[in-house]
Amino acid sequence: MTFSWDTYARENSRRGKCSSQVDRCSEEREKMRKIKEDTSLGVNVALYRVKDFRNPAKKFKVEANCKQLHMTGAVVLHKDVNVVVVEGGPKQQKKFQRLMLHRIKWNDDKKKNDDDDDNSDDEGESRSKKCQLVWEGMTKERHFGEIRFKQCPTETIAREFFKKHNVEHYWALCHSQAILENTDM
């Protein structure tokens, strides 16, 4: 068999196409492996309470980041007590916590509406805590499936939703903190 540069170039280009597809698949698997974590020993859970969740952009950010980080959970929307429950590994929780407490600017909507309002700084600081980390810990297993939003017009419907998933105490924690915060003002 004689050596030809043409056949050599064709073979390498064929291999290049196939190997690049394999490389992309392996890169995607590697990214997935880095993001997904082993939760067989326990699942990290975080509860956030958000005062105002009317902005659809904020809802999208929460939902999209949960899906990208392969987290499970739920968002219960009820008047002043909007509860975000997310389940995942420690790295996922760290990234999601940074999103909720630092990257999302919860005050932006209020500033646009109240540009001419000149309140004192201490009142602004107390109202600036639009998102709070209520509790974080570990459970043995996941209680929720893929992230979803649940609109609850009454407190009993919200309590029943959490009761159905065997985590009624999540609602009790968030709701009691909201009541205590409202009585302090």
**149-167 confidence digits (pLDDT tens):** 999 999 999 999 999 999 9
Nearest by Cα to 52 from 148, 162, 127: 127
CA distances from 45 to 59, 73, 92 (A): 19, 9, 10
Q: Which tens digit of pLDDT belongs to each residue from 107-141?
A: 876 556 555 455 544 444 445 468 999 999 999 99
Q: Looking at domain 43-184, does it have CATH number 3.40.50.720?
A: no
d(CA 6, CA 19): 20
The string of DSSP letters for 28-75 reads HHHHHHHHS---SS-EEEEEEEES----HHHHHHHHHHHHHTT-EEEE
